[in-house]
Every structure is written in C-alpha cells, then in structure tokens.
C-alpha cells in the first residue's frame, strides 16, 4: 500500500465530514456487513482517541479507536478496528494495529494492552504479540476472545506481511 496518512483525534475535535465517514464505515461493517444489531457508538467514544488512515487521494482505508487505561480495562484497549473492503489484504490492517500500539505506548507508557478480538482474528492479533486470555465467548452474537499484550511487547512500527 502506498503512503497512508494517519490522523489521531478526539471526538470533541472532529471535523464533521471526517466524523461522518468514520461513523458510517463503523456502522457499515459492524452493523450491516456483520449483520449485528447493536449500538456501535457508545460512551467510550467520548473519551477515546480515534484514528483514521487515508490514502493520497483522501480515501478512508482504515479506522480504530484507543481507550485509555481504566476506561474499559486497567490497560489501554484498541477496538473498533476496520479496514475498508478495498484495502483488505493489502497489509493496511497490520499497519493500523502498529499505529495504535505506537500511540498507546507513547500515551500510556508502561502499560500492557487488552482487547476483545473477534475470534477469527486471533492469529492476526497474535502476529502483533497478543496472546489469548480465556476462552471464546459470544458478544452480540459474534465469537470473541480476550487477548493481552504485555508491556514492552509487540512490534509497533515493524510492518508485517500482507493480511
């Protein structure tokens, strides 16, 4: 994938059209594509760091959010990770996770990381150093697994093979 511009922002500082594209993508994937009827937007969005990745033409390639320690877990937590259909299989997902882990390490040094991953992505997150923490469970009708990353682990910024 060519050059990606990563932009971090807080909800209160969001540019309206960028916020619309971000929330529309989240709804498109988590509610429509995954046929899951749930409220994607929640109170965590208010305190989260939000990330968008765009290509040179300004097209949205991927998004994620980063929750601070103590918001959901004692550790920071990445979530709402999406790569657009057009960018899937190009490595953007790995770059997106690398960027979130870089930001988490900078904002919250000394912490590990905890996620609630969709179970089919266990190997993907494992390639970033995450390890399963418990058994697979259903959340909103979708199999999930909790995964953790120890402080100082992972490979932020290292890049990965296409996935």
Q: Write the pLDDT tens digit of every residue in 73-88.
A: 999 999 888 888 888 8
CA nearest 132: which of 110, 151, 117, 152? 117
pLDDT digits (tens, 9 = 90+) for 104-148: 999 999 999 999 998 999 999 999 999 999 999 998 788 999 999
pLDDT at 21: 74
Angle, CA 145 vertex, CA 143 and CA 148 arms, to 5°:
160
Spatial distance between the Cα atoms of 125 and 85, rounded to a whole number of angstroms:
19
Enumerate the β-bridge partners of residue 132. Answer: 147
Query: What is 5-149's CATH topology?
Result: Aminopeptidase (3.40.630)
- Measuring CA to CA, how many Å separate 131 from each of 22, 68, 98? 29, 20, 16
pLDDT at 154: 64
Does an H or E element contain 97, and which? helix 92-107
Residue 161: exposure state from Cβ atoms within 10 A (0-12, 13-18, ≥19)? exposed
Spatial distance between the Cα atoms of 38 and 55, rounded to a whole number of angstroms:
30
Model pTM?
0.82
pLDDT at 39: 60
pLDDT digits (tens, 9 = 90+) for 45-57: 789 999 999 999 9
Per-residue confidence band for 159, with pLDDT thresholds at 50, 70 and 90: very low
* CA atoms within a 13 Å half-sphere pointing along the CA-CB vector of 50: 20
User: When comparing pLDDT for 44 and 53, which is higher?
Assistant: 53
């Amino acid at each position: 994938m060519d050059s990606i511009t990563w932009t971090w922002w807080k909800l209160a500082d969001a540019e309206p059209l960028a916020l619309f594209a971000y929330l529309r993508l989240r709804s498109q994937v988590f509610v429509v594509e995954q046929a899951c009827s749930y409220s994607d937007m929640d109170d965590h969005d208010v305190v989260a760091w939000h990330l968008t990745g765009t290509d040179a033409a300004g097209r949205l390639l991927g998004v994620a959010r980063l929750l601070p320690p103590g918001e959901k877990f004692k550790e920071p937590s990445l979530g709402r990770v999406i790569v657009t259909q057009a960018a899937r299989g190009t490595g953007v997902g790995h770059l997106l996770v690398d960027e979130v882990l870089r930001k988490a390490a900078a904002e919250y040094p000394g912490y590990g990381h905890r996620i609630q991953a969709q179970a089919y992505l266990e190997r993907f997150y494992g390639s970033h150093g995450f390890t399963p923490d418990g058994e697979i469970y259903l959340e909103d009708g979708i199999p999930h697994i909790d995964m953790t990353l120890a402080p100082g682990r992972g490979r932020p910024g290292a890049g990965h093979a296409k996935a």
